[in-house]
Structure 1
Amino acid sequence: MSNTKLEVYPLSDIDFLKVHGRTTGNLSPLTLFWTGSAIEFNVKGSELWIEVEVGYEHYEPWISVLINEVPVSRQMLIAGRYWVCLFRGMNENALKNVRVVKDLQAMNADPGCSLQIHAVKSDGEFLPVKDKPYKLEFIGDSITSGEGAIGAKAEEDWIPMWFSAMHNYSTITAEILNAEHRIISQSGWGVLTSWDNNPRSNIPDYYEHVCGLLTGDKNTALGAFEENNFAAWQPDVVVINLGTNDGGAFHTPEWRDESTGETHKQRLNEDGSYREEDIEVFERAAESFLIKLRKYNAHAHLVWAYGMLGIPMMPAICRAVDAYVKKMGDRKVSVFQLPTITDETVGARNHPGVLAHQDAAKALAGYIKGILPKR
């Protein structure tokens, strides 16, 4: 084991640092907002640490550490500013690929939740990280946040421990296709409303910002509400996995804004079918979102992937995609049905477990392989 003194490097001093996920571009410090956001290094040396600064009021961030693309540790990060050891005692001459991944989604429900990385310290040297040939963006809800992908089937608590960016169809799909990926997701949210009919809890309204669905002065200061720099990272494929919560809203009570008295409700007919004028509002919202996605992702193939928790909204999604294609003449849009969970593949909180995510990733990667540009 090397006894070489560890040197501290602010992130901004590391030439060969790779950042994954939407950020403001600021490295002093770097804020990781979304699930699956990460920092990646290629490093020689026997030891490596990162300096984190963590805050939260209710929901603590979790991270996974991968060395040479294999997860080796997963941990809760408590509040404060401190050093976390990623590895010690390794062969100082061997090149290690190291990735630190945020396992928890951006937390709309906790304006105090933040994860920042200030610096690293090591006895080694940093070397270039090779770019992967493809880029994928995944937009979704709790499924894409990996809620319930980890933990026993009996777990019912809504806590960060049961969220996973690693046991997640998006990450597994990207691994199969040798692609970089980004995730934009929020549990309970939809295209038009959240599961409880709140029309403000929809992903499309916040898509153009770095992490617009966050709240509070702290996140304002961190740059969450800045315009995202789309030119800096253009995906080959955008996967939209939304609609599950919009479907759920038909079966939950109306949402009411206590301050204004405003109410919203997606309604069923007496026979249990969706009321036509309400499902049409959903379809228009989906169509509008596709228009917005095309505006910011000029060359990407847009794939609406849906079905892991059933397919009640599939006809409406197909109609919305058809309407968009007819209106815009855009042929790089399609719908893909994901495999539905079973008793064997369900995870915690009645959400897809790791086996369900693996099934979905295998199917989706096979489909995307056929539409990726040849490189």
Structure 2
Amino acid sequence: MKRYTLSEIPHLVHGRTNGETEPLTLFWTASGLEVNVRASELWVELHAEWSLYEPWFSFEINGEFFSRRMAAQGTERVCVFRGMNPDAVKNVRIIKDTQAMSADPESVLQICALETDGTFEPVEPRALKLEFIGDSITSGEGDIGAKAEEDWISMFFSAQNNYAVMTGRALNADIRVLSQSGWGIGCSWDNNPHGAIPPVYEEVCGLLNGSKNEALGAHRANDFAAWQPDYVFINLGTNDCGSFSQPMWRDEKNGETFQNRREPDGSFNAADIARLQEKVIAFLKTLRRCNPGAKLVWILGMLGVELAPAIKAAVERYRAETGDTRAEFLALTDDLPNRGCRNHPGVGAHRTAAAELTAYIRAQ
């Protein structure tokens, strides 16, 4: 057995990074490392820390899910496989199963090194690149575990059961996922305006807090030139919709308040919808500036469609105002029979969404 740092072997990195591989920090859902190895045995050296929400990770071998486990505190060696045919090349992916935890500034997962009794082969880059931006749905919350589960813990997040990962697997694409449970376009589910994805999009992982994440480069400007997607799918709006039914948010420190309101008849307040639509248009402009060659597709529907007409109208207005015909809205199926735990889309619902997106891309 020989230990290799990542700079010593051919590999592919999936997900946004800080540009460093010694060690490789896995910030986002479905971020990870891919290698081809001709060996009978492979181990990975991981480093993990957290105070509230432990990271989970999983292994794929030759394109199939193989195992999943919770990371241990500190540095550990974990066996990926052993006793396999030493002459056969295995494609291996080591994937972060859980989202970036904005509520836990101590949460981190890193790949430090690999150990094997064999040799590494080159890994072909993917021709198709897909970026997914979203909330708990795109983080895979509730897509694993029994329907009765209600605990908000990292164990019930799974990248493997995620529609984004499934779509990438079906199309042999390189994917990136940027998502955070509870967050939205203009605010989080509870009307907190600081729980919005667009303001942090241009940083490596701008929603993370604490000095540790800052030192790891989470707040560095993302290098968009290094990785340009062919499609950007924006699955945001579910939490904004929910915020219209929540009380006003108030910051106890400075008195700041925010609320999306409903009228007495239950309809959305027109001024609040107009403000939300402006944020949709502004975010599409940011996405176009950062990803000039990508098709921008706003998707919604896996967990309700009440806000879909307003978002679709905003996308159409963006097209009309900018002349950008490579932006559109796509409705997804709310697969109610396949709900998972925490009343979120389950693995079956993610399969439904992945099939719809795969068909959409193949039809282009």
Q: TM-score range by the shorter chain?
A: over 0.9
Match of 2:351 in 1: 358
Residue pairs, 1:274-313, within 5 angstroms: 274-313=268-307
TM-score (normalizing by structure 2): 0.99
Name the SS for the 2:338 alignment partner: coil
Percent identity of paired positions between Structure 1 and Structure 2: 54
Q: State the distance in 2 between where 1:251 and 1:282 align.
A: 15
Match of 2:98 in 1: 104
Q: Flag as ranges the 4+ runs of structure 1 deviating above 2 A.
A: none
CA shift at 1:56, angstroms?
0.2
Residue pairs, 1:66-145, within 5 angstroms: 66-145=60-139
- Residue by residue, what CA displacement relative to the aligned partner does 1:258-303 show, whole Å, maximum 9, x if unpaired? 1100110000011000000001110000110000000000010000
Q: State the distance in 1 between where 2:312 and 2:41 align.
A: 52
Residue in structure 2 matching 1:65, options 59, 66, 80: 59
- Residue by residue, what CA displacement relative to the aligned partner does 1:20-74 show, whole Å, maximum 9, x if unpaired? 0000110111100000001011001111111111000010000110110111100
Matched, 1:264 2:247: no
Matched, 1:240 2:234: yes
Match of 2:315 in 1: 321
Residue identity matched to 1:37: S
Name the SS for the 1:252 alignment partner: coil
Match of 2:18 in 1: 24
TM-score (normalizing by structure 1): 0.96
RMSD value over aligned CA atoms? Answer: 0.7
CA shift at 1:175, angstroms?
1.5
Give 5+ residue unaligned stretches, structure 1. 1-5
Matched, 1:369 2:326: no
Residue identity matched to 1:249: S
CA shift at 1:341, angstroms?
2.4
Match of 1:9 in 2: 4
Match of 1:347 in 2: 340
Match of 2:161 in 1: 167
Q: State the distance in 1 between where 2:21 and 2:66 align.
A: 25
Report how many aligned residue pairs link the two structures.
364
Matched, 1:48 2:42: yes
CA shift at 1:309, angstroms?
0.8
CA shift at 1:322, angstroms?
1.2
Give 5+ residue unaligned stretches, structure 2. none
Q: State the distance in 2 between where 1:159 and 1:207 align.
A: 25
Q: State the distance in 2 between where 1:340 and 1:229 align.
A: 35
Name the SS for the 1:110 alignment partner: coil
Q: State the distance in 1 between where 2:320 and 2:122 align.
A: 45
CA shift at 1:370, angstroms?
2.1
CA shift at 1:369, angstroms?
1.7
